[in-house]
A and B are shown apart, each in its own frame.
Chain A
């Protein structure tokens, strides 16, 4: 019914636009957009897409509204605290525009449900707040050939990009892994809860995601395809960087749905337990092996100096220059507390990938010495 006789009166101001017109409005009404994350980015994106008349909108979020959300997640009120975000967002948007179809998924996107949910939509808006979801969404969208309108914020800065969008013939489409091939070390990049965020910033970035989505649906303007735009709210500086698709990146992405379902994105993004860490017991088993390279990554002159096993010293500050010379197949790094060695392990992993087995001594030499004396 609503497809045959849509009320165009509410869209009159945008139908007036040159290049948009009735045709643009028809395209919006036929489009299906999935917004993953109904938070700081998702709320404004959802409001503008619903108001603009995107015909079908899906909302994925397993979270409930809390008081600390309200300074930026503008679909919610104090009366919503404790209630599921996706359902409340659906209710609000239905009041804003009853002519469109809205689906709420009050669940976390996982490898088990992602392909089925995403497959029902044309475009995915990544409005999530963590790296494991971002890599999961990327890989699912590459498998299903769906474009991603990416947005992310930190403190006063934001990033927007259109990824995995196949537009121009002959130009390979870049995805999130072409931008950031591997996730940062756990704890290196702080989220909004840890680092803080100015409430209006995700409003700006989420609105830009809505704008880019409308552009690719209607075919107007020059969307940020294969381009990441950074915006700094304190200086109003914008900077665009071109993302280049790389053949080697495709091998990082699961080849098919069966491989995708077995992926552990939380593990891949190394939270909360780090994938490189080994216990003192396992470390001691390896210290006698000739096939294992043990490396002290502390700076020169740090004590204690272990004498019970053989090792080489490569201080973390010189690590990048000397990694390539490591020949053995298994590498175990240690430092004072186990923190710097985790960074060293990540650097090794960035260089060698799965071609070498890489470990980091949990608790560092401090715990090892303590364990030895007990």
Chain B
């Protein structure tokens, strides 16, 4: 891949969601750059991940921790395991900066997570900042804004 096409960027975003829904979390970990961040702000217009609270702001170590924890023998909140389901609207390609090698998509989606008799629905928007590492597209930043980020939630255990 010299430079990704619009379709390749869109396919990437769909593939990522499918990996999560399939529970292929180790593959999902490989989608990120080493210095990539997975961010879910707490406030709708939040700009700062550091000096106010976020729902998530996770580097490579913390993403791995999540995935390892999901496999754990004594991870009681995952007995039984949760499952999730993404329904994506077609991603907008907001930026294709070939000079910087930066590609940005904007994807509204619905997310459903279930465990035991409980199931909940969240509406959200993902912003992917993708870069080329060698020949592969990787996520440098994935920002997920929940429509109701200021609401009170129970456990959200998988990945939006």
Partners in one complex: no
